[in-house]
A and B are shown apart, each in its own frame.
Chain A
Amino acid sequence: MTIEERLTLALHDEAERVDPDVGRVYAATMRRLTKPGVRRTGELLWPLLVTVVVLALLVGSAVILQHHWQKTVVPAGTSKAVPAGTSKAGGVSTTFTCPGQITVDDAGRKQDDSFLPSIDVPPHVHVSQDRIAQAAADEVGAPRYSYVENGDDATLRLGNADGSLASVSTFHHTPAGWDLVTTTKCAAADGGILVPVDDPLRLGAHGTKPYPARSMIENPESAVLVDDRSSYDEAGLVKHRTIWASQCGPRICVVGGTPTSMVLPEIKAAQPPGDITSLLLAPDLMVGRTRSLVLWVVYDADRSVSSIVMRLRDGTTLPAKWISGPGWRGRAYFALGRPDEVQSVQVRHRGGTTTTYPAKDITDPNIG
Chain B
Amino acid sequence: MQAESIDARGRDVTDEPDRFGALFFAHAARLVRLAALLGDDDPEDVVQESFCKLYAARGRLRAEDAEVVSYLNKIVVNEVRGRQRRRQVARRDAHLLTTADTTDPTAVHGDRRAVVEALAGLPLRQREALVLRFWMDLPLAAIADAMGVRIGTVKSQISRGLDVVGAALREGVER
Chain A: residues with CB nearer than 8 A to chain B? Answer: 3-4, 6-15, 17-18, 20, 22, 25-26, 28-29, 32-33, 38-44, 77-78, 80, 106, 110, 113-114, 116, 118, 120, 122, 124, 139-140, 179, 257, 260-264, 278, 282-284, 287-288, 366
**Counting CB contacts under 8 A, is B143 at the interface?**
no
Q: Give which listed residue, A39, A43, A114, A261, contacts B90 with CB less than 8 A.
A: A261
Q: Give which listed residue, A11, A25, A116, A288, contacts B28 with CB less than 8 A.
A: A25
A11 touches B131 (CB 8 A): yes
User: Which positions 37-54 of chain B face chain A at CB distance < 8 Å?
Assistant: 37, 43-44, 47-49, 51-52
A18 touches B135 (CB 8 A): no
A9 touches B97 (CB 8 A): no
Q: List 13 A-B contacts (CB under 8 A).
A: A7-B115, A7-B130, A15-B135, A20-B47, A29-B47, A78-B59, A78-B60, A116-B125, A179-B150, A263-B92, A283-B92, A287-B122, A366-B92
B48 touches A80 (CB 8 A): no
Residue of B nearest to A260 (CB): B87
Distance from A361 Cβ to chain B, minimum over Cβ atoms (Å): 18
Q: Give which listed residue, B97, B153, B165, contacts A7 with CB less than 8 A.
A: B165
B28 touches A110 (CB 8 A): no
Q: Is the interface of B mostly helix, strand, loop or mixed?
A: helix
B58 touches A113 (CB 8 A): no
B29 touches A20 (CB 8 A): yes
A29 touches B57 (CB 8 A): no
Residue of A nearest to B32 (CB): A20
User: Which positions 108-156 of chain B face chain A at CB distance < 8 Å?
Assistant: 108-109, 111-112, 114-116, 121-125, 130-131, 134-135, 148-150, 152-153, 156
- Write out the residue numbers on chain A whose beta carbons fall within 8 Å of the beta carbon of B68: none
A26 touches B24 (CB 8 A): yes
- Write out the residue numbers on chain A whose beta carbons fall within 8 Å of the beta carbon of B91: 263-264
**Counting CB contacts under 8 A, is B96 at the interface?**
yes
A32 touches B29 (CB 8 A): no
- Extra contacts, 17 of them, besides A15-B33, A116-B149, A261-B89 (Cβ < 8 A), are A7-B111, A7-B134, A12-B135, A18-B97, A26-B24, A26-B25, A26-B28, A29-B24, A40-B56, A40-B57, A44-B56, A139-B85, A261-B88, A263-B90, A278-B92, A284-B88, A288-B123
- Write out the residue numbers on chain A whose beta carbons fall within 8 Å of the beta carbon of B8: 42-43
CB-CB under 8 A for A20 and B59, given A260-B87, A287-B121:
no
- Write out the residue numbers on chain B whose beta carbons fall within 8 Å of the beta carbon of A264: 90-91
A282 touches B88 (CB 8 A): yes
**Counting CB contacts under 8 A, is B9 at the interface?**
yes
A284 to B121, CA, bound (A): 8
Distance from A224 Cβ to chain B, minimum over Cβ atoms (Å): 20
A284 touches B123 (CB 8 A): yes
A231 to B115, CA, bound (A): 30
Chain B, residues 85-107, CB within 8 Å of chain A (1/0): the string is 11111111100110100000000
Q: Give which listed residue, B56, B112, B121, B149, contacts A118 with CB less than 8 A.
A: B149
A20 touches B28 (CB 8 A): yes
A15 touches B36 (CB 8 A): yes
A25 to B48, CA, bound (A): 7
- Write out the residue numbers on chain A whose beta carbons fall within 8 Å of the beta carbon of B59: 40-42, 77-78
Distance from B97 Cβ to chain A, minimum over Cβ atoms (Å): 6
- Write out the residue numbers on chain B whose beta carbons fall within 8 Å of the beta carbon of A29: 24, 47-48, 51-52
Distance from A77 Cβ to chain B, minimum over Cβ atoms (Å): 7
A64 to B110, CA, bound (A): 61
A284 touches B57 (CB 8 A): no
B52 touches A25 (CB 8 A): no
B56 touches A25 (CB 8 A): no
- Write out the residue numbers on chain A whose beta carbons fall within 8 Å of the beta carbon of B69: none
In the A-B complex, the 5 residue pairs with the smallest Cβ-Cβ separation, listed nearest first, are A10-B115, A261-B88, A11-B135, A20-B32, A3-B166
- Write out the residue numbers on chain B whose beta carbons fall within 8 Å of the beta carbon of A120: 148
